[in-house]
């Protein structure tokens, strides 16, 4: 619902704001979010839903497949006593199949709901939806190779929960830096804090685009692009593994060349991880983390990283709907 072309900074006040990019957040905004998130955990564990969002309806419209983001947004609203309109595959199940434009679809669902959560295969579409909406906030649940801000918020919360800080961190990100929207948002987030060092491990063809890299380097974080696990720093605070984004490739053979060049397995952990290094992944994984690693107590990707997704989204929706401050 931002004025055309503008994406508002949060600046301590979430109410009515679209959530499109990690660029909107300052460390203070993140500390507000995280303060409430700790409380959402206890609300979610109660037998009865809270009534914080009673009478509110949130539309989830996903033009691209999703398990966690769709599931946890739905669960978040319901945990707080609100209701959802859930549309997966709008190309099949809504008037989009008849040729309705994105703008019209947004205008229609804003008449029925208090916020719209949107995922789309094209970068920039969440912004387009925000420009189309007149009255209600839009949340970007992943726009192509652009950003995935709510994933980064839960990733940052998970790192904060485990290490107690968001500055002075050493982290490794591995996989698809070029097409992976979760890393694009997470790097933006970590760049807001002082003295973070990020090592990006990927095949050369899947490095960040130069514009993004230069932009990130101008902000707080030190960023190193590396080709081999031999360049891993000792005792990193986190390893953030990602999937090579098959659906963004023009040909299967290009994908085959670069998929799973780097596998996280117990051998690598033994050689290179610290005793407090946490192992993260936004999921889905498609072979780049061996299932044997799941039992390692440092692996959080099927544990707190998942649960935190729901708590952080409960908080974010409550803040933008003005239910908490």
- Active-site positions read 68-69, 98, 119, 148
Q: Which of these ranges, 155-163, 218-226, 240-248, 298-306, lies near ligand NCD under the rule CB under 6 A?
A: 240-248
**Mask of contacts with ligand NCD, 58-97, x by CB under 6 A?**
----------xx----------------------------
Among 17, 184, 243, 272, binds ligand NCD (CB under 6 A): 243
For the beta carbon of residue 305, count every other beta carbon within 10 angstroms. Answer: 26
Tokens 């309806």 correspond to 57
Distance CA 17, CA 132 (A): 14
Handedness of CA 39, 42, 45, 48 (dihedral sign): negative
Minimum distance from residue 12 beta carbon to ligand NCD (Å): 27
Minimum distance from residue 102 beta carbon to ligand NCD (Å): 19
Q: Which residue lies nearer to ligand NCD by CB, 52 or 309? A: 309
The CA distances from residue 65 to 118, 141, 250, 252, 284, in Å, are 11, 11, 19, 19, 11
Minimum distance from residue 3 beta carbon to ligand NCD (Å): 28
For the beta carbon of residue 215, count every other beta carbon within 10 angstroms. Answer: 15
Q: Which residue lies nearer to ligand NCD by CB, 50 or 281? A: 281
* Contact by Cβ (8 Å): 265, 239: no
Tokens 């564990």 correspond to 45
Residues 287-316 that bind ligand NCD (CB under 6 A): none
The CA distances from residue 134 to 1, 103, 112, 178, 221, in Å, are 5, 11, 13, 33, 36
Size of site (CB under 6 A) for ligand NCD: 13
Q: Which of these ranges, 54-62, 75-83, 130-138, 278-286, lies near ligand NCD under the rule CB under 6 A?
A: 278-286
Among 118, 169, 283, 300, binds ligand NCD (CB under 6 A): 283
Q: Which of these ranges, 160-168, 186-194, 221-229, 238-246, lies near ligand NCD under the rule CB under 6 A?
A: 238-246
Residues 126-145 that bind ligand NCD (CB under 6 A): 142
Asked if 185 is part of the footprint of ligand NCD (rule: CB under 6 A), the reply reads no
* Token reading at 91: 């190309």
Handedness of CA 285, 288, 291, 297 (dihedral sign): negative
Minimum distance from residue 281 beta carbon to ligand NCD (Å): 8
Minimum distance from residue 70 beta carbon to ligand NCD (Å): 9
* Contact by Cβ (8 Å): 184, 245: no
**Mask of contacts with ligand NCD, 143-182, x by CB under 6 A?**
-----x--x-----------------------------xx
Strand partners, 83: 57
* Token reading at 111: 């008449």
Q: Which residue lies nearer to ligand NCD by CB, 52 or 201? A: 201
Instruction: Give the DSSP letter string of 215-226.
Output: HHHHSS-EEEEE
Distance CA 135, CA 110 (A): 7
* Contact by Cβ (8 Å): 312, 33: yes
List contacts with ligand NCD (CB under 6 A): 68-69, 142, 148, 151, 181-182, 242-243, 245, 282-284
């Amino acid at each position: 619902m931002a004025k055309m072309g503008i994406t508002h900074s949060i600046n301590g006040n979430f109410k009515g704001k679209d959530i499109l990019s990690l660029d909107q957040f300052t460390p203070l905004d993140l500390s507000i979010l995280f303060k409430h998130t700790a409380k959402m955990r206890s609300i979610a564990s109660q037998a009865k839903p809270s009534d914080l969002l009673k009478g509110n309806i949130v539309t989830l419209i996903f033009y691209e497949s999703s398990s966690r983001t769709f599931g946890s947004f739905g669960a978040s609203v319901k945990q707080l006593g609100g209701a959802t309109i859930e549309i997966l595959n709008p190309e099949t199940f809504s008037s989009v199949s008849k040729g309705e434009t994105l703008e019209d679809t947004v205008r229609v669902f804003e008449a029925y709901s208090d916020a719209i959560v949107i995922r789309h295969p094209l970068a920039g579409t969440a912004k387009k939806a925000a420009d189309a909406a007149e009255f209600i906030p839009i949340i970007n649940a992943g726009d192509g190779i652009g950003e995935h801000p709510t994933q980064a918020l839960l990733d940052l919360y998970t790192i904060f929960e485990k290490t107690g800080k968001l500055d002075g961190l050493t982290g490794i990100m591995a996989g698809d830096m070029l097409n992976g929207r979760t890393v694009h948002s997470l790097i933006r987030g970590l760049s807001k804090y002082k003295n973070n060092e990020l090592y990006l491990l990927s095949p050369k063809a899947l490095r960040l685009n130069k514009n993004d890299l230069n932009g990130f380097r101008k902000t707080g974080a030190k960023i190193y692009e590396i080709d081999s696990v031999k360049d891993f720093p000792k005792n990193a605070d986190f390893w953030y593994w990602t999937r090579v984004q098959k659906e963004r490739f023009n040909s299967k053979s290009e994908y085959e060349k670069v998929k799973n060049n780097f596998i996280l397995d117990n051998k690598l952990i033994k050689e290179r991880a610290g005793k407090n290094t946490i192992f993260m992944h936004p999921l889905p994984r498609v072979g780049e983390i061996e299932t044997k690693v799941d039992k390692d107590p440092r692996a959080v990707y099927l544990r707190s990283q998942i649960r935190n997704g729901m708590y952080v989204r409960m908080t974010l929706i409550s803040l933008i709907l003005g239910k908490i401050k």
